[in-house]
Amino acid sequence: MQGHKVEQLGIATVGFFWCFLMWFSTAAFSPSIAATYHLTIKDLGLLASSAIWMAPVGRIVAGWASDRFGAPRRFAAILAGCGLVSIASAFTTSYELLFAERVVVAIAGVSFVVGVQHVAQWLDAHEIGTAEGLYAGTGNVGAGVGTLLLPRIFGTDYRQPSSARSA
């Protein structure tokens, strides 16, 4: 793998990393979200499950859109759209709106399909397995980073960085 192949693998991997970080970010803040909105276990479970609601149909649509419009454009659209809505969810004042925003952010989970197509179009048949393993394995680290680092940056309060609380 040389030149554009490695560059494209890197782009797909970084995009997938950020998508999965957004996709799993709600889990890291479940205690403060539950406290803020006075959620029951059932409500919190429903919110947590929203991360997978878009996956079944969304992955089919994302695959088609990647074939039709190109994977780089789909990654950019997913990252921009889900990123903006993810940021907006930190400023939401109602559980219903938060829930709707998290369903939109769940679209980030369809990025796996986009990246698989992206990697496959740039690499030769004898390189695809290794490349997609690197892509998926490294990209999935985003979920772990979100779970491990976000609470350390923000503490348990998803709305206020820990540095602002200590001042």
Residue 159 is predicted with a pLDDT of 60
Structure token digits, residue 130? 């290794």
Q: Which of 123, 128, 10, 145 is nearest to 72 (CA)?
A: 10
pLDDT tens-digit readout, 118-139? 888 888 888 888 888 888 887 7
Name the domain count of the chain: 1
Asked whether the whole model's pTM tops 0.85, one would answer no
Supply the range of the domain harboring residue 146: 4-165
For residue 1, the SS3 value is coil
* Spatial distance between the Cα atoms of 9 and 79, rounded to a whole number of angstroms: 17
CATH number of the domain within which 30 lies: 1.20.1250.20
